[in-house]
Structures are given as C-alpha cells and as structure tokens.
C-alpha cells in the first residue's frame, strides 16, 4: 500500500525529532539503574551512558502480555524498546553483554534489538518490579510474537535484575 507524501513527511519529521532528542543524554537526577559502556557515543558519566528510572520512562514505552517460563500465567511487561535505550546512548556494535545484579551475564546479538523488539521492562502487570520480582529492570523478548522466540536461547538472553549493558 503506497504511503502519502504527507505521511512520509510526518514520519521523517518524527525521525528527525527523535534523533535530536537522543543527541544530548541528560544526567540522571535519581539513582542510576542502568549503565551502558563500550561503544557509546552519548556518554553522560565519564565514558558511559547512565540512566535513572525517570530517563528510561521518558523514552517511548511498549507494553505486551506474554507467557514466559518464569511465571505460571501470562504477564504484562512495559518498558522502552532495547533499541531505543541503545539509541539514546548512541551505542553501536555487534554484541551486547547484559549483566544482572547477581553478576549473571548473557550475550545478546546487537541485531536482536532491531529484529525482535525486546524491551527493557520496568513494570510487571503495571507495577514497578522490585529486586525480589526480577527488577528493577528486565530485558524481555515478546516470546508470543513468533514461534522462533519460544526457545531456550531467547529465554537465556532475557536478563532480569539488569544493571548494565556492555556494547562491543
């Protein structure tokens, strides 16, 4: 279906505004909940990009309900797309090493952020996640969106109690 010139201009304008919005990464005013290191172009703390919860909440939010191996029934997650968090930091690379508060590490191909739309969830069933509830941040793939995602490899890439991403 062809798009109108007006629709194309609106899309281009949105992209330009979004690009401008991520050019200057604010400094956190609250507790840092996520640190992105490695190939980061928009550092706001030494060579790293750091985020407090308010900064993550300012990014566009995505919500989906999904069946996971960690909960007995489908749950609803909300948070920014991983790719938007990486874009805010000006991060580029081939691999992301996600690290949790308990030092669990998992490698995520950078392309997953674009191909599968995982989110950096901060809400579980519309409530902030405590550390006990796998929070405060949890990388979650939309497992129900594709049969391909219902596999151990993607479950293992989902890092709960996330606190850092190293982009290589």
Q: Over its length of 168 residues, how does the chain's per-residue pLDDT go in tens digits?
A: 444 443 333 343 334 334 434 446 999 999 999 999 999 999 999 999 999 999 999 999 999 999 999 999 999 999 999 999 999 999 999 999 999 999 999 999 999 999 999 999 999 999 999 999 999 999 999 999 999 999 999 999 999 999 999 999
Condensed to tens digits (0 to 9), the pLDDT of residues 24-73 reads 699 999 999 999 999 999 999 999 999 999 999 999 999 999 999 999 99
Q: Enter the tokens of residue 2.
A: 């062809």
Q: Looking at residue 73, what is its pLDDT?
A: 97
Which residues touch 75 (CB under 8 Å, ≥6 apart)?
65, 66, 68, 124, 125
Q: What is the pTM for the complete model shown? A: 0.85
Q: Looking at residue 47, what is its pLDDT?
A: 96
Q: Looking at residue 12, what is its pLDDT?
A: 39
Domains by residue range for the chain, with CATH:
5-167 (3.90.420.10)
Phi, psi of 50, rounded to the nearest 5 degrees = -120, 150
Q: Looking at residue 24, what is its pLDDT?
A: 65
Q: Looking at residue 9, what is its pLDDT?
A: 39
Q: Which residues of 57-95 are buried (b: 16+ CB within 10 A; e: fewer)?
A: eebebbebebebeeeeeebebbbbbbbbbbbbbbbeeee
Q: Looking at residue 104, what is its pLDDT?
A: 96
């Amino acid at each position: 279906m062809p798009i109108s010139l007006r629709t194309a201009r609106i899309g281009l304008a949105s992209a330009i505004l979004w690009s401008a919005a991520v050019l200057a990464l604010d400094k956190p005013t609250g507790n840092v909940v996520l640190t992105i290191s490695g190939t980061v172009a928009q550092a706001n703390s030494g060579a790293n990009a750091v985020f407090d919860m308010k900064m993550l909440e300012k990014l566009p939010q995505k919500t989906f309900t999904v069946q996971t191996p960690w909960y007995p029934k489908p749950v609803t997650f909300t948070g920014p797309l991983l790719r938007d968090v990486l874009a805010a930091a000006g991060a580029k690379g081939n691999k992301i090493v996600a690290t949790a508060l308990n030092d669990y590490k998992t490698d995520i191909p950078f392309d997953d952020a674009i191909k599968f739309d995982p989110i950096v969830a901060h809400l579980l069933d519309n409530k902030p996640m405590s550390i006990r509830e796998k929070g405060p941040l949890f990388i979650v793939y939309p497992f129900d969106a594709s049969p391909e995602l219902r596999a151990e490899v993607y479950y293992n890439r989902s890092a709960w109690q996330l606190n850092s991403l190293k982009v290589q």
